[in-house]
Structure 1
Amino acid sequence: MTDRRTRQNRSATTTVSAPPSVVFSILADPRQHARIDGSGTVRAVVSGPDRLELGSTFGMDMKMGAAYKIGNTVVEFETDRLIAWRHKGLHRWRYELTPQGADTVVTETWDVSRYPLPLRLGLAASLGKKTQAAIEATLVKLKAAAESDAA
């Protein structure tokens, strides 16, 4: 049963024919985020380390209609298993990796559970459908990138 706080979250899962270390190396390198972005909004990294860790900050050039810059902070991190970041809002972009034989099961989640209920409902209503499509497209690109890197 879905928890009421997480009901408005959006997520999708895919299986990647590559080990978790290969998938994680893409996610933990902000310079590769434009490579896997399915939303079409991530343009380029403007600041940050080559490899993210808990507490790392990184900035991105974005475009959703107008161009803008956004700063992010890594708020969850477990090497080859979990990475999540957020910007000034309370929502998080989370990637969970689970080894499955030689493959990796990857779940991407747009987590809005930290917002009060009225804001969660508003975000889900206004951005949920578009975000779900972006997550699904990102996972397609991440799968292709990781499988190419592993080859």
Structure 2
Amino acid sequence: MTEEKVSVTRTIAASVTRVFAVLADPTTHARIDGTGWVQEAVDQAPLTEVGQIFRMDMYHANHPNGDYQVVNKVHVFDEPHAIAWLTGEDKGGGRLEFGGWIWRYDLAPNGPLETNVTLSYEWTAVPQHIRDYLEFPVFGPDHLGNSLDHLAPLAESTPAAGTVSRASSPPRA
């Protein structure tokens, strides 16, 4: 394989700002994940800048501990056009080590209420010592497509910031 990246694109019936807001909220990531590995956001503050660290509780039956935690570092924050993070682990003593793979969402408005979302998984920077025990790509297009399928209803069902849904509006007098 010459390109070390897989990508999938879907059109989501929500504004680009709404889709970005859902992606920048770590508490939504477990519901977006297409594998069921992501369990819960440890750090629940919205993502706001490059370099920001956020942790996620994970579970995978083939992981040595079953339950484990990943640390993510925001790599791209271009609101509302792109957001990406590196995934790694806390080695203790404040030392974080990232595996070299990147999750990236690119958003392009397709009119005021639709967004073309491209999710990419790239592993070009994965060092050889990790490649020796993990076969890449760890995730294929099906997983990415599942994640976008999970993202769509989250973005489509929640009003954009600053709007009031009819269901929560006070009754008219």
Report the TM-score when normalising by structure 2: 0.75
Could you say which residue in structure 2 is the equivalent of 1:21? 17
Q: 1:27, CA displacement in angstroms?
A: 0.5
CA distance in 1, matches of 2:106, 2:46: 20
- Unpaired runs of 5+ residues, structure 2, are 88-97, 160-164, 166-173
Higher Cα Rg, which structure? 2
The aligned residue for residue 73 of structure 1 is: 73
- The question of 1:95 aligning with 2:105 is answered yes
Deviates more, 1:14-23 or 1:41-50: 41-50
Alpha-carbon distance in 2 for matches of 1:134, 1:92: 15
Q: CA RMSD in A?
A: 2.3
The letter for the 1-side match of 2:136 is: L
Aligned to 1:55: 51
Larger fraction in helix: 1
Q: Which blocks of at least 5 consecutive residues in structure 1 are unaligned? A: none
Aligned length: 143
1:32, distance to aligned residue in structure 2 (A)? 1.1
- Higher RCO (Cα < 8 Å, 6 or more apart): 1
Task: Answer yes or no: is the 8 Å Cα contact 2:12–2:115 preserved in 1.
Answer: yes
Identity of aligned residues (%): 34
The match for 2:90 is none
> Structure 1 length normalisation: TM-score?
0.85
